[in-house]
DNA sequence: CATGAATGAGTCTTCATTCAT
DNA sequence: AATGAATGAAGACTCATTCAT
């Protein structure tokens, strides 16, 4: 046993426990220093663990990076599916849930957004990224498109292109995330949600107002 | 004179000429390998010049990177101001010009988009980035907001928030760019423009249709 | 364990052990190639260690250099204090001890003298040097001056300037060192000591002869 | 013609003129930055000339360095020979002249002393140095020894070793130079001369007092 | 499982030297 | 003679990965 930040830690912790610890440290390091500036010494230093552990629990640095991204991607997916997967909600409520998930403070904060864009930025990582999240991105895009189709099926939206709305939503999510990361003084989670509802109110006025789902 | 890739090249070119050559090579390298994967050996190799030349014309690798970004940012600004600055156009036509500029193939192609997001992604570079482009981003955002105000002033749009529209446009630009970069099979420049016009048609139906400015 | 130059070496040695090893190698390299000609590749090569180890144990090459000088300066100080600090000796015997220390073969040999003058020579290093050894130089100069005062206090030396003698001694130490380094065929440790005793015999004839302390 | 520091300079100057200009610049640079820190760009910058000129007038950087040292060595030799070579002076006056030369402000100033010790310090340069100045050093040492012999021949100095005095003088010159360079607040040209006369007064009391030659 | 010293390939950067103009 | 852009070898430093303990 030894003490780490005031908490007794079993010197021999479970593998899962250690990995989570390292991933959290990686998120912190990437958000501070970028992917390039993230060294294993830095990550283990933040985690209060020894250097050798990284290559023990993860085969390579790249593996740690990929699992870090996968962790965030999984977290986002769990979040929106948690609500959008409920059978007792209306389509437009589910759509609203997806939007809310993206701009919840536990998801959309500069620490985590920095990690997302670190992966978008590195061409090399982009490959890993796609392998790791393309399926999730498409799953979500398809879900959004399906929900739009459901709204259209309820009548009154003859000219709305459901796929286009889905794509626009994805773009709005990423675009607002980027601007929140870059210009936090000007862009906020709440304002982002408001603008997205405004957009939806333009497309589905019977289901959305600028304030949210009806 | 000597021959390089079949072209006669003056051994001693003007400084500006060489810098442009190196910036072009940097864009190519960054789009292929990311910022981390971009080595000076790679850049000079692409340019067909010798390693030492980068540090001769640019003081450091970072300086080259910053000037590369400044080049892209300047190119985008020149492009949209070219049309949006004309006094013979209506506000909604100017707004359309800004949109068109962002999704013109000479601006919005994967080679260049990769560079933009390489800078967004690196926390360290983000600082350089902001110093270099924040002013341009805000100038454009303000221009968009002002054009929206002009449309509102023409009457009929009581509930539209011009600042919100400006921010949403910026988010749509960045968001579509990212998705064009990540998922080129699913997102295209034309589709992006179409969705943005669709959004504007929802806000300013008297000036825009889903097909573009009236 | 593995074999290096016939000696079993623990792969993981204590930090102090490795640092001493690298400092010894640095002395050898500096004496052979000067400070400029001393590369980390050379130093680690001499030590039979890997390149990266220098920057692991010392932060930078400069740090290694400074610690190398500090090592020599400390060695000299230990040497003269060892005798001059004894309470059972007379002042003139202590003075003689300081002289002897400077021209002992373990201190005054071309390998180590080359390092001293390498630091004197580099303006850049001179700053580090002063920070590192000025205090030791002044401590020694003051000790010499004090010992001269003690001799004068014993009477018979009305016109001797103790501070001047101290300064002259320092100059003689450095000057003979330099000439031993440059012209070993003409200048030797023994001859240097003899000349310095001759000088002291001129100032303090009741305590020194050309052969040494009475 | 162009203007350099207010003086019209023929664009095509004589080779000798240019070389002297570059040597002066080299002295300045070496005294500021050491030999390592002295780049040809720096030297030519100080001289207000173009980079290419160095390799035109001197074959290599090393050649410039050697000629720079040769310049200083020649300057010192000219200085002491100027007086010590006069046939109307007594031996002890000539000896005094050699001492004065070494501590004249035009010779013994920190700018030039830094250059001397830069060469002493670099083992690599030490070879060039010896080739360049060993003869001059020995010529001077022999001259000093001969002058001591002349004093002894005048009678009354049975136990003085002329060669030893010569060597001690050389050591005192170099040693005081070093300390003037390192500790200018504590060591001065005048004090150095005074101590050396004090030494000589101890060896040749009929010819020297602590104040100088009788 | 855990540690952290050790390794060495890979990069940026510097700079003497060359050479077209 | 003079210029300064261009070259490329060489060196300090970084850091993922290995491995003895």
Q: Is residue B6 part of a domain?
A: no
CA distance C12 to chain D (A): 34
Q: Percent of chain D, pLDDT > 90? A: 80
- C89/C47 same-domain check: no
For C:96-135, CB contacts with D below 8 A are: 114, 117-126, 129-130, 134
Nucleotide nearest to C41 (CA to C1'): F11
pLDDT (0 to 100) of residue A9: 45
Task: Give a yes or no: residue C1 inside a domain.
Answer: no
> How would residue B1 be classed by pLDDT, with cut points 50, 70 and 90?
very low
CA of residue C13 to C1' of nucleotide F21, angstroms:
11
**Predicted confidence (pLDDT) at residue D129 exceeds the cutoff of 90:** no
The dihedral through the CA atoms of A166, A170, A171, A172 has a sign that is: positive
Asked if residue C15 is part of any domain, the answer here is yes
Mean pLDDT of B111-139: 83
The model's confidence at residue B125, banded by pLDDT at 50, 70 and 90, is low
- What is the count of residue pairs from C and D with beta carbons less than 8 Å apart? 166
Asked whether the predicted pLDDT for residue A5 surpasses 60, the reply is no
Of A114, A137, A171, Cβ closest to residue B176:
A171
**Are the beta carbons of A173 and B168 separated by less than 8 Å?**
no
Q: Phi first, then psi: give them for residue D8, nearest 5 degrees.
A: -70, 130
CB contact under 8 A, A195 and B31: no
Beta strands A212-213 and A208-209: pairing type?
antiparallel
- The overall average pLDDT reported for chain B is 90
| C146/E7 CA-to-C1' distance in Å | 53
Mean of all residue pLDDT scores within chain D:
90
Task: Please report, rounded to whole angstroms, the spatial distance between the CA atom of protein residue B121 and the C1' atom of nucleotide E10.
Answer: 23
Interval C25-64: pLDDT, tens? 999 999 999 888 899 999 999 999 999 999 999 999 999 9
pLDDT of B192 > 60? The answer is: yes
Q: Is residue B107 part of a domain?
A: yes
Nearest CA to the C1' of E15 belongs to which residue?
D39
Nucleotide nearest to C57 (CA to C1'): E5
Residue with the larger pLDDT of the pair D172 and A2: D172
Residue C128 has pLDDT above 70, yes or no: no
Give the end of a domain, one of D59, D80, D95: D59
Q: Which residue of C has its CA nearest to D135?
A: C183
Tell me, yes or no, whether B7 lies in a domain. Answer: no
pLDDT at B117: 92
- For residues C78 and C55, membership in a common domain is answered with no
pLDDT at C13 over 70: no
CB contact under 8 A, A199 and B175: no
Q: How far is A68 from chain B (nearest CA, A)?
A: 15
The pLDDT of residue C6 is above 70: no
- The Cα of A109 is separated from the nearest Cα of chain B by a number of Å equal to 14
So what's the pLDDT on residue A95? Answer: 97
Same domain? B93 vs B198: yes
Instruction: Among B30, B125, B199, select the one facing A199 at the smallest CB separation.
Output: B199
Answer yes or no: is A6 within a domain: no
**Which residues of chain A make contact with B192, given a CB cutoff of 8 A?**
171
Nucleotides of E under 7 A from a protein CB: 1-21
**pLDDT score recorded for residue A10:** 46
- Out of B36, B167, B179, whose CB is closest to A171? B179
Task: Note the pLDDT of residue B123.
Answer: 67
Residue D16 sits in which domain range? 11-59
**Nucleotide with the nearest C1' to A55 CA:** F17
Interval C75-127: pLDDT, tens: 999 999 999 999 999 999 999 999 999 999 999 999 999 999 998 887 676 67
- Residue D10 is predicted with a pLDDT of 47
Whether the pLDDT of residue D40 is over 90: the answer is yes
The nucleotide lying nearest C17 (C-alpha to C1') is E5
Nucleotide nearest to C54 (CA to C1'): F13
Q: Are B36 and B99 members of one domain? A: no
How confident is the model over C142-183, as pLDDT tens digits?
999 999 999 999 988 988 999 999 999 999 999 999 999 999
Q: How far is CA B31 from the centre of its chain?
A: 14
**Residue nearest the C1' of F17 (CA based):** A55
B19 touches strand F (CB under 7 A): no
Q: Is residue D94 part of a domain?
A: yes
Strand partners, D4: D7
Q: Judge whether residue A41 contacts strand F, using its CB and a 7 Å cut-off.
A: yes
Residues B160 and B203: beta-carbon distance below 8 Å: yes
E6 closest protein residue (CA to C1'): C53
List, in order, residues 6 or more apart from C98 with CB less than 8 Å away.
Answer: C80, C83, C84, C140, C143, C144, C147, C169
Round and report the angstrom distance from CA (C117) to C1' (E17). Answer: 29
Average pLDDT over residues D20-36: 94
Tokens found for residue C172: 């003689």
My answer on whether A21 and A87 are in the same domain is no
Instruction: Tell me: pLDDT of A139 over 50.
Output: yes
- The pLDDT score that the predictor gives to residue B5 is 40
Closest to B165 measured CA to CA, from B196, B132, B186, B188: B196
- How much of chain B is helix, strand and coil, in % rounded to 5? 70, 5, 25
Q: Do residues D113 and D39 share a domain?
A: no
Percent of chain B with pLDDT over 70: 91
pLDDT at C3: 36
Do residues C171 and C73 share a domain?
yes
Instruction: Quickly state the pLDDT bin for D6 (edges 50, 70, 90).
Output: very low
Nearest to A31 among B118, B123, B141 (CB): B123
| Chain C CB within 8 Å of residue D81 CB | no
Are the Cβ atoms of C37 and D123 closer than 8 angstroms?
A: yes
**Residue located via tokens 């090569």:** C45
The Å distance, CA of D60 to C1' of E16, is 8
Across the range A97-102, mean pLDDT stands at 98
Q: Which of D119, D123, D129 lies nearest to residue C33, judging by beta carbons?
A: D123
Bridge partners, residue C7, by sequence: C4
**In this complex, which chains have at least 3 CB pairs below 8 Å with chain B?**
A
Of A125, A170, A191, the CB nearest to B179: A170
SS (H, E, C) chain D: CEEECCEEECCCCCHHHHHHHHHHHHHHHHHHHCCCCCCHHHHHHHHCCCCHHHHHHCCCHHHHHHHHHHHHHHHHHHHHHHHHCCCCCCHHHHHHHHHHHHCCCCCCCHHHHHHHHHHHHCHHHHHHHHHHHHHHHHHHHHHHHHHHHHHHHCCCCCCCCHHHHHHHHHHHHHHHHHHHHHCCCCCCHHHHHHHHHHHHHHHCCCCEECCEEC
Q: What is the pLDDT of residue C126?
A: 62
Q: When comparing pLDDT for C16 and C93, which is higher?
A: C93
Best of B27, B73, B130, B175 to substitute, by most chain A Cβ atoms within 10 angstroms, is B175
Q: Do A124 and A206 reside in the same domain of the chain? A: yes
Tell me, in Å, how far CA of B11 is from C1' of F12? 31
Residue C172 lies in a domain: yes
Q: Which residues of D touch C168 (CB under 8 A)?
A: 172, 195-196, 198-199
The alpha-carbon gap from C163 to the nearest alpha carbon of chain D, in Å, equals 10
Average pLDDT of B2-26?
68
Q: Exposure pattern of D144-160 as b/e (b: 16+ CB <10 Å)?
A: bbebbbebbeeeebeeb
pLDDT exceeds cutoff 60 at A190: yes
| C168 at D interface, C-beta within 8 A | yes
Q: Are D178 and C174 within 8 A, CB to CB?
A: yes
**Cα-to-chain-centroid distance, residue A39:** 23
Condensed to tens digits (0 to 9), the pLDDT of residues D148-194 reads 999 999 988 988 999 999 999 999 999 999 999 999 999 999 999 99
**Together in a domain, A105 and A54:** no
User: Is residue A199 predicted with pLDDT exceeding 80?
Assistant: yes
Q: CA B50 – C1' F6 distance (Å)?
A: 7
Q: Does the nearest atom of strand F lie within 7 Å of D25's Cβ? A: no
More confident residue, A210 or A12: A210
Are A31 and B171 in contact (CB < 8 Å)?
A: no
What does the pLDDT read at residue B155? 81
Same-domain check for residues B181 and B93: yes
pLDDT of the residue at C176:
98
CA D31 / C1′ E15 distance in Å: 19
Q: Please report, for the domain that includes residue D29, its CATH number.
A: 1.10.10.60
Chain C from 12 to 51: CB within 8 A of any D CB: 30-37
Confidence of residue B202 (pLDDT cuts 50, 70, 90): very high
- Residues in chain A with CB shorter than 8 Å from the CB of B125 are 34
The tokens describing A135, both together, are 């399926």
**pTM summary value:** 0.88
A126 confidence band (pLDDT: 50, 70, 90): low
CB-to-strand E under 7 Å, chain B 12-31: 12
Q: How confident is the model at residue D13 (pLDDT cuts 50, 70, 90)?
A: low
pLDDT range class, residue B126, cuts 50, 70, 90: low
Do C50 and C72 belong to one domain? no
Which residues of chain D are within 8 Å of residue C183 when distances are taken between CB atoms? 134, 137
Total domains, chain C: 2
Chain B residue at shortest CA distance from A110: B123
Kindly state whether residues A176 and A78 are assigned to the same domain: yes
CATH of the domain at B138: 1.10.357.10
A181 versus C1: the higher-pLDDT residue is A181
Q: A120 vs B119: CB contact, 8 Å cut-off?
A: no
Whether B154 contacts chain A with CB within 8 A: no
Say yes or no for a CB contact (<8 Å) between D118 and C117: no
Which of B81-90, C42-51, C62-71, D114-123 bottoms out in mean pLDDT, i.e. has the lowest?
D114-123
* Backbone torsion region of residue B8, taken as left when φ is above 0, otherwise alpha when ψ lies between -120 and 50, otherwise beta: beta
Number of H helices, E strands in chain C: 9, 4
């Amino acid at each position: 046993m030894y003490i780490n930040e005031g908490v007794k830690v079993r010197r021999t912790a479970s593998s899962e426990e250690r990995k989570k610890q390292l991933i959290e440290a990686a998120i912190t390091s990437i958000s501070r220093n970028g992917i390039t500036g993230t060294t294993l010494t830095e990550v283990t230093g933040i985690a209060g663990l020894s250097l050798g552990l990284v290559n023990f629990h993860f085969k390579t640095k790249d593996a740690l990076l990929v699992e870090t991204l996968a962790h965030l991607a999984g977290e986002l997916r769990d979040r929106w599916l948690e609500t959008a997967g409920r059978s007792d909600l209306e389509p437009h409520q589910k759509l609203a849930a997806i939007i809310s998930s993206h701009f919840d403070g536990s998801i959309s904060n500069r620490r985590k957004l920095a990690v997302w864009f670190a992966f978008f930025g590195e061409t090399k990582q982009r490959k890993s990224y796609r392998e790791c999240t393309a399926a999730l991105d498409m799953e979500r895009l398809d879900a959004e498109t399906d929900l739009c189709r459901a709204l259209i099926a309820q009548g009154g939206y003859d000219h709305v292109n459901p796929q286009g709305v889905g794509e626009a939503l994805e773009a709005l999510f990423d675009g607002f995330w980027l601007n929140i990361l870059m210009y936090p003084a000007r862009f906020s989670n709440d304002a982002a949600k408001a603008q997205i509802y405004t957009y939806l109110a333009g497309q589905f006025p019977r289901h959305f107002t600028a304030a949210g789902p009806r």
